Amino acid sequence: MTPPPPQTGPPLLEMRGITKRFPGVIANQDVDFDVRAGEVHTLLGENGAGKSTLMKILFGLYQPEEGEVLLRGEPIDITSPSEAIDARVGMVHQHFMLVPTMTVAENVALGIKSDRGPLTDLDAVSERIREISEAHGLAVDPDVEVWRLSVGERQRIEIVKALFRDAELLVLDEPTAVLTPQEVDDLFVILRRMTEEGRGIIFISHKLHEVMALSDRITVLRNGRVTGHTVPAETSRENLAEMMVGRAVKLSPHRPDVTPGAPRLKIRGLSVVGDRGTRAVDQVDLDVFGGEILGIAGVSGNGQRELAEVVAGLRKPEPGTSIELDGQAIDSASTRERRDLGLSYVPEERMRDGAIGDFTVSENIILVDHGSEKFSASGLLNFGAIKDHCNKLVEQFAVKTPSIETPTSSLSGGNIQKVIMARELSAGPAVLIASQPTRGVDIGSAEYIHERLVEQRDRGTATLLISEDLDEVLGLSDRIAVMFEGRVVAIVDHDDATREGIGLLMAGVFDEEPATT
Amino acid sequence: MSEFLTLTVIMATIASGIRLATPYLIAALGETVGQRSGVLNLGVDGVMQLSAFFAYWTVLETQNLILGVLAALAVGLIMGLIYAVVTVSFHATQGISGIGIFLFGLGFSDLMFQRQVGTPRPIKQLQEYGIPFLSDIPQVGPALFEHNLLTYAAFLMVPIVAWVMRSTTFGMNVRAVGENPQAADSLGVSVARTRYAAILIGNTMAAIAGAALVLQLGIFQPNLTQGLGFIAIALVYFGAWRPVGVMGGALLYGLVNATVLQWKAQGIIPRSASDIAAMAPAVLTIIALVVLAGRVRPPSALTRPFTRH
Ligand SMILES: Nc1ncnc2c1ncn2[C@@H]1O[C@H](COP(=O)(O)OP(=O)(O)O)[C@@H](O)[C@H]1O
Ligand SMILES: [Mg+2]
């Protein structure tokens, strides 16, 4: 490979004094950011800090109100993605920009002038893709349709797309959010090889251990402003978290020792057909004891969602499934009956299944029990009682909202989740299913939600925690069940669980003794 | 002897089915291209109506069939441009904009007809041409290989549209823009330009379908299409957004229609029941759509306007 160019002369990219406003928010305020050839410069910040906005400005998707962009020392005005591509800027977006119904080669070829005029030239494109994937260690098959591929493979295609256009500066917006630990390691090797070729990389993440592992330099954004620069050698995860949030945070909650009680949720032979018509969950047996959090680890799409939906009563299992809550069979009970028996559910799609955006905070809080005698009499709502109840919960769960009459959709993700948690925990559930409880939630709220989950466990609730955030599962769970292709392939005690061990199980390496890498 | 008669009748029915399928096929192929780009056009019927009138009026005045088709084309381009400006540039809701186009086409063609023509007068019809040798095959020949030029063109367009969608960069852009416009945009493909082109293709084809309808009949009357354009939209779903599937649907529709007509003429269906029998094709389509529902997936971005913000 070519040696990295000497670090003299202008940086590859300089963004100076960038300001971008959206109605009601300043997404970027006077942001300075630069990248040198051959380095990984990380942009770290909470959800909503303005990272994607800054990168979309670089890529010509948004125009800044103020500030300038210099590429290789020259001022440049990028007004569309094609201009960015021409300037050799490549971007792997947070949400993949792929057409699932088209082949890998077609996806890569989109927007590129064909040598055959109006006709596509997919053979030549496939050939180049093979060359690129060989040169960079990116295994992809150009002829398969994208919908058949795993998330890890899709991400490699995104990188191939950028390399195909010979990007010299590559932006990766939260590329690891959906990868297994092993896939993350592989990705980092690929990225390192690219910097050795003299390309510059902007890495966006809020996963602190990854940021520490990969970055040459780190810039932290908070509420649209740069709040600090550092390098991994001079900082720590706690330190970075503090720069992101603006105050000290506990990264994993204290879990006092609790002796688990009797099994409160008992699942036997649970199988269910998923949306694709294939078996999404295959013969799962699980016991969740009172006073324990059972975490489910797994790459998304391995049956976790369907499992949660079956237990919650939103999806019909196959015959032969048995689910018991405190000894009562609930597998054919309605959601109402399940709730009455003490089941609570914090759904993964919080704005679809968990709350009604147009409803006020208080309406969402009483959504599941507005018919109970606490809140209504002969069909009429008792507004006084509702108000007292909601005000109490809003305070107790530290929901930041102007009032309980505010439409829920105008709250931040973290606060909406707190509203849902307040509703689901206020009943003191026997069994709690929490799906992705802190996804897209700010660190402060996540910290708070974690404390609440542990507190509920200490009170004897049996919690089934489903999360794609391995750190969350490792930090909260008493036991960890790993799901792979619809089956529970292992259950590991908290004290025996390691990132690497769980990561291998998630990737489907479990038959023989775990491979050592 | 009577067997011979039956075969003749069957062949005549097939020939008329193919002829009846022509406007459905052309309109549905055009709508397929539009929908593959993510744009639903409920105005097909209105465009057909209006272009049918202008084709008719032009032929009535000039006796020139080619001019008639050109007039229809112009109507299609104008209507397409309006629809594209409204739905792509101004991001208007496609459903209601399409209904607007339909109502405009229906009303304006009626108005023009009342003012300019008044009472229906017949015009020159499309002439049928036999394909040399093939049309000489006994029985089958005249049924399959003796049709007007627009019918030939319609069936020729099936492989052409399929090929354009599959093998050209334009077709690839159309598919990408209909499935994931953000992705196309991020690679420098102009979503707006691609959708404009697809809409214009869809509307000009609807216009040709209108011309084919009126020039096959040789006469115009208000509400000539009787919802044919809506059936064409249903056929796009029926054909799962694939030209060959759409052709299958159009042929099925044409043949069932022809059979019902035939049976009515022969008195197999009693007069009193003939209106009910006339619903047969529509009922068949609905049944087919229900059976197909859930098995095929429309383009993901269908009916969704695209914006970067
Ligand atoms: N297209 C948009 N319209 C309005 N507000 C937006 C838009 N994009 C982002 N924002 C707002 O700008 C802020 C920064 O968002 P974003 O750049 O996506 O953050 P990050 O990528 O760091 O999570 C957030 O408050 C977000 O709600
Ligand atoms: Mg982002």
Separation CA B113–CA A166 (nearest Å): 60
Assess if residue B248 is contained within a domain.
yes
pLDDT at residue A511, rounded to an integer: 65
Separation CA B189–CA A493 (nearest Å): 51
Handedness of CA A127, A130, A134, A138 (dihedral sign): positive
Residues A90 and A203 reside in one and the same domain? yes
Assess if residue A39 is contained within a domain.
yes
DSSP letter at A372 equals S
Q: How far is CA A266 from CA A194, A285, A313, in A?
A: 50, 8, 15
Q: Which of A221, A245, A269 is the last residue of a domain?
A: A245
Q: Reduced to 3 states, what is the DSSP secondary structure of residue A4?
A: coil
Q: Which ligand is nearest to the CA of A55?
A: 1
Side-chain-side CA neighbours of B32 within 13 Å: the count stands at 30
Distance from Cα A26 to the centre of ligand 1, integer Å? 9
Per the structure block, which two tokens stand in for A228?
A: 């600090």
Assess if residue B188 is contained within a domain.
yes
Q: What is the pLDDT of residues B230-287, one digit of tens each?
A: 999 999 998 999 999 999 999 998 998 898 888 888 877 777 776 777 777 778 778 8
pLDDT at residue A516, rounded to an integer: 40
pLDDT at residue A8, rounded to an integer: 62
pLDDT at residue B309, rounded to an integer: 67
Assess if residue B306 is contained within a domain.
no
Q: Which of A206, A227, A245 is the last residue of a domain?
A: A245
DSSP letter at A352 equals I
Residues A17 and A154 reside in one and the same domain? yes
pLDDT at residue B103, rounded to an integer: 96
Assess if residue B72 is contained within a domain.
yes
pLDDT at residue B122, rounded to an integer: 93
CATH number of the domain that B181 lies in?
1.10.3470
Q: Which of A189, A218, A245 is the last residue of a domain?
A: A245
- B188/A82 CB distance under 8 A: yes
Residues A338 and A380 reside in one and the same domain? no
Per-residue pLDDT band for B93 (boundaries 50, 70, 90) equals: very high
Number of domains in chain A: 3
Q: What is the pLDDT of residues B13-46, one digit of tens each?
A: 999 999 999 999 999 999 999 999 999 999 999 9
Distance from Cα A91 to the centre of ligand 1, integer Å? 17
Q: Using alpha carbons, select from A290, A285, A284, A291 the residue that is nearest to residue A264.
A: A290
Best residue in B172, B173, B179, B186 for a mutation probing chain A (most A CBs within 10 Å): B186
Residues A180 and A269 reside in one and the same domain? no
Per the structure block, which two tokens stand in for A475?
A: 């930090």
10-residue averages of pLDDT along chain A (517 residues): 54 96 91 96 90 94 94 94 94 90 96 90 95 89 90 89 94 84 88 93 90 95 93 91 86 79 93 86 95 92 91 92 93 90 90 86 86 78 86 87 87 86 89 90 85 92 92 93 94 91 86 45
Instruction: Please say whether the beta carbons of B208 and B150 come within 8 A.
Output: yes
Query: Which residues lie closer than 8 Å to A42 by C-beta, 6 or more apart?
Result: A202, A203, A204, A205, A211, A214, A215, A217, A218, A219
Separation CA A93–CA A79 (nearest Å): 17
Q: Tell me the average pLDDT of chain B.
A: 91
CATH number of the domain that A135 lies in?
3.40.50.300
Query: How far from chain centre, in Å, is Cα A152?
Result: 14
Number of domains in chain B: 1
Q: What is the pLDDT of residues A337-390, one digit of tens each?
A: 999 999 999 998 887 888 898 899 989 988 887 777 778 777 788 888 888 889
Which of A96, A101, A161 is facing B179, going by the closest CB pair? A101
Q: Reduced to 3 states, what is the DSSP secondary structure of residue A206?
A: coil
Distance from Cα A109 to the centre of ligand 2, integer Å? 26
Assess if residue A150 is contained within a domain.
yes
In which domain, by residue range, is A44 found?
13-245
